[in-house]
Structure 1
Amino acid sequence: MGIQQKLYCTNQLKWFIALILFASTGSAYGQDKLVKSADHKFKSRNYEKAIELYEEAYPHNPGSYKIIKKLALANDRIGNSGEAEKWMSKLFEIGRVVSHDYYMYSMILLHNGKCLEANEYLNKYEGLKPGDKKIPKAKEEIEYIRNLLKDSSAFNIAPASINTSGSELGTCYLDNGVVFSSTSIGDKKADARLASNNLPFLDLFFAKEPEAGQLVDPKPFAYKIKTEYNDGPVAYDPVEGLLYVTRFAPQKAGADEAKDVFHLQLIVAEKKSGTWDFKDFFFLNSPNYSVAHASVSADGQVIYFVSDMPGGYGGYDIYFCYKKKDGEWSNPYNVGPVVNTRKNELFPFIASDGLLYFASKGHRGLGGYDIYVASPANGVFNSVRNVGYPINSTKDDVAFTLDSTSARGYFSTNRVNNNGYYDIFSLELNFIPITIKGVVKEADSKEVIPGVVIEILDQDGKNIGDATSREDGSFSCLINKIPEITLVAKSDSHESLKKAIDLSSLKPNEELILEVFLYKKQVLLIK
């Protein structure tokens, strides 16, 4: 090979190497710019866009601790715990973790209901950081979640047949059917889209309920009160025959902002000539805060709703107004700190038995919004309980509603898939525990009578519980609540007693305390 040819080949090789280096440098520069853009979105809390950019950068640097950790963090902060778990798992696969990653992974696993795995990684974290003050609380939380996740035989749940590929949310019993909101029933292609989830806005629909838990033939509802934004949920006042409808209330922002500010408001609708139409705005609506998610008591005397009005405990709180003598609603009252937290309480529902159900992110739960029940005592809600699994899941569970028997109803959840869209589920309470207890006494002398057999019969005469009076005459029997029972008392020495008892006003876990009086059997002497 001649000198000139060697020089040519050498120069060509240098050019080729320089081209590769330039392409690599350009590619690296582009990736670096992409990651920096993702970092900026992450820092400004635009986690959805940050995820999009980090995922674009990931294939070019699949071993990057920073990219994988940021993907886990961003997904965790928008409540997408399934994706957060996936990226944390990748972090452990590549073997590039720091001690705190064990704790973070443990908490993400816990939010996904994986208590055993969560406890395993928490123990590993404890081995690396013994004495960390977070550990005892985390262990307690794991045990709490473990108990909530125990499959409760108290409920049967099933997805409603009206669910679509979009969102169905919120239910209200009305006219042998249910009013609910949907993004996707019917042809809604021309509707405006929501930037946050790329779905049409929620419209109101009515579905017939030929049998409990069965919803069929959904049709558009109350077209005269339809807006261009989200409509629903709805509450029905059975006494006044009115609907309270939640909807968006766009208010023009200041000229400097050049955009709309959206609050929620309640409107009141009435039926005119067979059609639901606008009647009035709820008196507490304001351009400065939201008022939404109404629920009216069965006697029409109390309305519950949520608001972020000033003076609350944080986020959205639950309030109530009572009906005054003049028929107007009173000033609002906060239901108090036992129910309300520094986070959001939403979708209150006051059941016919007086229990208040609601969704919250502020109480301990399985993850996302859980459904809770508050029990009243002397007019105050002084205890709150998570209703547990299977009503609650690691996703958002909201809009709990019961029928007039407080034994069947519906709720909404986004547990089915990872796109955040909601579905309506039916629910049935299989067992509503109440206790029948009391003392058996002699009718004349009022002395206690031991050994009396107590039987509890249902409306068909079937035995659903029994007990025998003790030495002090007392008895106790746990039964499943039904509207009415018949108590039968039998004794060899006293006349039998049969008495019908109405249980409709009893709440779950309440006790009915009775005094049972028996007369001595008459002894006939034959001479």
Structure 2
Amino acid sequence: MNRKNYILVGIGILMSISVFSQQGKQKRADTLFNKFSFVKAAKVYTELVQNNYNRDYATRKLADCYALLRDPRNASRYYKSVVKQKNVPVEYYYKYAQSLRGMKKYDESQIWLQRFKDSGGVVDADDFSKDINFITSVFGAKQQYFLDRVRFNSKYSDFGAFEHNGKVYFASSRDEGVAIKRVYGWNEQPFLDVYVAEAGSRRNVDHTAKIKGDVNSIYHDGPVTITKDGKTMYFSRNNFKDDIEVKSKGGLTNMKIYRATLVDSVWTNIEDLSINGDNFSTQHAALNKDDSKLYFASDRPGSVGGSDIWVVDIFPDGTLRNLQNLGDVVNTKGAEGFPFINNEDILFFSSDGHTGLGLLDVFASIKDEEDESKIVDVINLGIPINSNSDDFAFTMNQDGITGYFASNRRGGRGSDDIYAYHREPVLHVEGVVTDAINSNPVQGAKITLYDDNDQPVAYMETDENGYYQINIDRNRDYKIVASQDKYIDDYRKFTSKNIQTELITINANLLLNPVQDVVKLAKLDLNTIYFDFDKHTIRKDAAVELNKIVSLMKNDYPEMVIRIESHTDSRGRLSYNDKLSIDRANATYEYLISKGIDPKRITEHQGFGERRLTNGCEDGVNCEEEQHQKNRRTQFIVVKME
């Protein structure tokens, strides 16, 4: 190889390494984005933009990162580029309008909002009614949470719904059906008690649904949380002793968290926890995914604002140690409360200190990618979870899709009502691209995603395992195409419409057939050989063709690899013909081996019986012998040339 060829090969290798490096970066960026790691995702998307790799897609995702990080300046900077892209989804006009509003560029924002509407977008009349945190509206533009009906609300206060083993536990002041009601002087409603109902039940829940045991008292009780094994409950309750409220130095009756155990289906053995105190409140218990940490709200000394989120370790013996304030990323000078930890150990909480839609809003935490114990930011869950009223007591069920929250928004039945929701998680299409001949994965195949207007949405390249993954929107029609220089393109059409909410993956595997070199194949002239009826012996005319193949494989193409496929006509039983075709394949294989062909150069020798007829001479069809002869054959497929 001369120096010029060495240089070309070197350049090709460098280009290949670069392409795979960028493809790996895109995969990492998408993974970070899906995990709410928007800071790190933004850095990787920035590198992709700078390297001009899948630039349109990376710019969109980069702009979305800054929007989700509540950085309107950088979000609008990249959205400005996005809206200039050809065939950009119209929702980006809306996102650009909201980012401009976040910078108080109201006139320009209205222009892009009108552009969004003119392009078929639907806008809520209240979207621009007040100057709010723009990220909430970005969430609203592409709704992730959807409300479901709850049938057990009352005209009183209901909140803190927590689902465990098919039952919903919640706090309520409904005390309906009781002749004598004790009324809380603050709002003239009965004191809170803990109730339980069957999840999805349509039955009315009255005083008979109070949980059994010693949890409910004459004062406020609830909300609750329960360990995964169902044996231990943590719940909030007014601080009292011997049926008398214990007041703080300021004359207030504070809240405490108590622990109960389940004994013979009754909650009992009530325990006052060591984290409690008479001069501050401790309430709203939540457990992490392995029940090793207890999160709660408290205004104890060391709090940043009116109340903060705190956490303490639960040791195997039940003792509580290592009390910590979660810090100023979560806690503000306002009030934070109602923590909840989902199966991914993501913290959700309510706050009136972080920028939101109204009073209390629900927020989710964002963890550091490398140190998951560290929270780096919080995001507003947006509408419909949040409103211009108090929204709080957010919980998520074990499925990670459904859950509950409470709100005193308009349209409810009582002062506080429980709302159920389901969310639509990020959806992606994934698959493996394989070689149709040898079933090996195809590395470096270009995957292009098209929308229902046949416009490209995104692209990437397969990894060393032939694997690809691309995020997609729900309720859309798509086409995905795999292409590679040495192969014929393959594509699949699929839809994300009317799919199950919990589904997060659509599979779309693709097969690529190698492009055959017409000149070489013509020169090879690998003719089909034929057999006599009901025989598998090699005929003289077949031997001539086989000797040609031996010569080509030995002398002209010493690296050529082939595959043998043998067939029969339709006469005879199916099972018999299957065996006969295998005998013909074996006879052909053995002939080539006997002439000195390395067995490794014949990848397969298979028989297909009468299953692949070349004409219409099926069972029951009257055909001439010449037509049947065309089906009694062995064919040779070139798997590899060099």
When normalised by structure 1's length, the TM-score is 0.58
User: Larger % of strand: which?
Assistant: 1
Specify which of 284, 288, 291 is matched with residue 293 of structure 1.
284
Does residue 179 in structure 1 map to residue 169 in structure 2? yes
Q: Over residues 119-167 of structure 1, what are the superposed CA-to-partner deviations in whole Å (9 max), with x where a residue is unaligned?
A: 89xxxxxxxxxxxxxxxxx999346287268365322214421111111
In structure 2, do the counterparts of structure 1 residues 232 and 474 end up closer, same or farther at CA, with 3 Å as the change threshold? Answer: same
Q: Over residues 424-469 of structure 1, what are the superposed CA-to-partner deviations in whole Å (9 max), with x where a residue is unaligned?
A: 111111x211657799799999993314799xxxxxxxxxxx9875
Question: 1:215 Cα shift?
Answer: 7.0
Query: For 1:158 and 1:419, how far apart are their aligned partners in 2?
Result: 15
Specify which of 191, 198, 202 is matched with residue 208 of structure 1.
198
In structure 2, do the counterparts of structure 1 residues 437 and 355 end up closer, same or farther at CA, with 3 Å as the change threshold? Answer: farther
Specify which of 401, 404, 412 is matched with residue 407 of structure 1.
401
Specify which of 283, 298, 302 is matched with residue 307 of structure 1.
298
Specify which of 104, 127, 144 is matched with residue 154 of structure 1.
144
Query: For 2:213 and 2:251, how far apart are their aligned partners in 1?
Result: 24
Q: Over residues 266-313 of structure 1, what are the superposed CA-to-partner deviations in whole Å (9 max), with x where a residue is unaligned?
A: 110111122111331122111121111011122112211111111121
Question: 1:322 Cα shift?
Answer: 2.5
Does residue 163 in structure 1 map to residue 153 in structure 2? yes
Number of the residue aligned with 1:393: 387
2:196 is paired with a residue whose SS is: strand
Figure out how many residues of one structure are paired with residues of the other and give that number.
350
In structure 2, do the counterparts of structure 1 residues 151 and 206 end up closer, same or farther at CA, with 3 Å as the change threshold? Answer: farther
Name the amino acid aligned to 1:265: K
In structure 2, do the counterparts of structure 1 residues 422 and 143 end up closer, same or farther at CA, with 3 Å as the change threshold? Answer: closer
1:271-420 alignment to 2 at 5 Å? 271-324=262-315, 328-377=319-368, 378=371, 379-416=373-410
Comparing 384-393 and 231-240, the one that deviates more: 231-240
Q: For structure 2, which runs of at least 5 residues remain unmatched after alignment?
A: 1-101, 108-127, 450-456, 475-500, 515-560, 565-587, 593-642
Name the amino acid aligned to 2:185: A
Q: Over residues 188-229 of structure 1, what are the superposed CA-to-partner deviations in whole Å (9 max), with x where a residue is unaligned?
A: 452222222211111111111147xx6765511134222111
Query: For 2:246 and 2:314, how far apart are their aligned partners in 1?
Result: 33
In structure 2, do the counterparts of structure 1 residues 370 and 340 end up closer, same or farther at CA, with 3 Å as the change threshold? Answer: same
1:524 is paired with a residue whose SS is: strand
In structure 2, do the counterparts of structure 1 residues 189 and 421 end up closer, same or farther at CA, with 3 Å as the change threshold? Answer: farther
- Residues 344, 360 of structure 1: 8 Å contact kept: yes
In structure 2, do the counterparts of structure 1 residues 297 and 448 end up closer, same or farther at CA, with 3 Å as the change threshold? Answer: same
Comparing 324-333 and 238-247, the one that deviates more: 324-333
Question: 1:381 Cα shift?
Answer: 1.5
- Residues 370, 392 of structure 1: 8 Å contact kept: yes
Query: For 2:442 and 2:152, how far apart are their aligned partners in 1?
Result: 60
Question: 1:488 Cα shift?
Answer: 5.7
Number of the residue aligned with 2:217: 227
1:118-137 alignment to 2 at 5 Å? none
Query: For 2:270 and 2:188, how far apart are their aligned partners in 1?
Result: 32
Specify which of 554, 563, 588 is matched with residue 524 of structure 1.
563
1:205 is paired with a residue whose SS is: strand
In structure 2, do the counterparts of structure 1 residues 148 and 159 end up closer, same or farther at CA, with 3 Å as the change threshold? Answer: farther
2:348 is paired with a residue whose SS is: strand
- Residues 289, 308 of structure 1: 8 Å contact kept: yes
Question: 1:478 Cα shift?
Answer: 1.3
1:421 is paired with a residue whose SS is: coil
Does residue 268 in structure 1 map to residue 268 in structure 2? no
1:262 is paired with a residue whose SS is: coil
Number of the residue aligned with 1:515: none
Q: Percent of pairs identical after alignment?
A: 26
- Residues 246, 278 of structure 2: 8 Å contact kept: no
2:214 is paired with a residue whose SS is: helix
Query: For 2:395 and 2:462, how far apart are their aligned partners in 1?
Result: 44
- Residues 287, 341 of structure 2: 8 Å contact kept: yes
